[in-house]
Amino acid sequence: MGEAIVSSSASSDLRVTSLSCGSSHTLALLSNGVALSWGRGEDGQLGHGDAEEMRKPRAIFHLMQAKCSQVTSGAEYSVALSKEANELYSWGWGDFGRLGHGDCNDVFIPQPIKALAGRNVVKVACGDTHTLAVTDAGELFSFGRNQNGQLGLGTTNDAILPQPVESLRGLKVRDMSCGAEHSMALAGNGAVYCWGWGAYGNLGDGHREDRCAPVKVQGLEGVKVVSVACGWRHSIAADDTGTVYTFGWSKYGQLGHGDCSDQLIPKAVEALKDSRIVLISGGWRHTAAADDTGKLYAWGWNKFGQLGIGSNSDTNAPVPVVGFGTSPVRLLSCGWRHTFAVTEAGDVFSWGRGVNGQLGHDEAKDTNVPVRLEELSAGNIKLESLGASATPLTTYVPPADRYAVVPDHSDALPDSSHGIGTVPEMPATKKPRS
């Protein structure tokens, strides 16, 4: 791609319009379509062509001309959608086919997912090792790891290329989310479906069994759900009245019901009954939600301050998050151990785990209160300082066997096929998450 011409002065009209937190990295999208990344880069998830950690936001050079419309973080990989180019790009750790390129190679610069070319994808969701994409017609595709049925294909075979979720065909999926090993979708008729890992009741069907195909969530009859979200092994839904329902794993109080008991079917969060919730997000073991006035609440695991409540104590009921001034929260994302929010005024805040620079403050330290990220807040955004005009340091893609043995390419199917490729179990050879 050619070098982008940018101004060194701050642009008052630029602001963050999309935001996503992964396990130890963060992605953001500016209103002009420029995608940014920072944090842990060991697996290529930052998209800068190397494996370096980045403590401050940096423009992803290879997406400069793509004019992206959404960015989404998986555990150690990333996805960006460009509606204008009608392309979906992925990069980072590629094991189990989670990048959708027909193999299991790590990718260190964004690459288009050829199997979805021309599909008019409008939204994408990432889990630990699997990915979902939905088209403008409401058709859902899945790919990546599938050992618990999280792809919804009726099998436990991994898929190295995108596959249509046939059992949801015709239901026009409107929203979807990925947990670590389970998935959630909102159909056009208002019904909610879950599939994959179910040991904690996070599928909401009243059982603790894995499901290889979508099952209808129970207990939401007569409720008009408008959005869904997944934590690592818990699930969240919000209806048109602003009521929040949670179910699944609750060891750390991440369901918000005042206890640490798992829930096998959706249960309304009683503490938020007087609030009209319009934003929901699930982290590894914590949850956050914002109401229609922009007030933010958080609950669950808080070892690294990811709740933003000024302490490191867990809480099993929603607690207000303060520090945003008078401007209401309008964007929200929970990562594994960190959280980001953007206010209506365009101010960006981050808190929680910061050891890999994922908070963007140019230092590797945690914080248990929201801290304003100056260079991404409206009125202060300078494209040149974000590296938007810089030539990438390198453009190499490391060997496929950098961390693990990859199956022979003869097992992969050609790009024109939508068959499922099975990937053998790979050893856990990476550094543990910090």
Mean pLDDT by 10 residues, the chain (434 residues): 35 89 98 97 97 97 95 97 96 98 97 96 97 98 98 98 97 98 96 98 98 97 96 97 98 98 98 97 97 96 98 98 91 97 97 98 95 96 86 52 37 36 39 49
pTM for this predicted structure: 0.90
Rounded to 5°, the CA angle 347-391-31 comes to 30
Query: How far, in Å, CA of 237 to CA of 404, rounded?
Result: 37
For 260, the token pair is 């640490």
| Predicted local confidence at residue 326, as pLDDT | 87
| Predicted local confidence at residue 324, as pLDDT | 87
Query: Which residues contact residue 292 at a Cβ distance below 8 angstroms, ignoring those fewer than 6 apart?
Result: 242, 276, 277, 278
Is 16-409 in CATH node 1.25.60.10? no
The residues spanned by each domain of the chain are 16-409
Kindly give the pairing relationship between strand 348-352 and strand 338-343: antiparallel
* Cα pseudo-dihedral 41, 128, 376, 295, rounded to 10: -150
| Predicted local confidence at residue 163, as pLDDT | 98
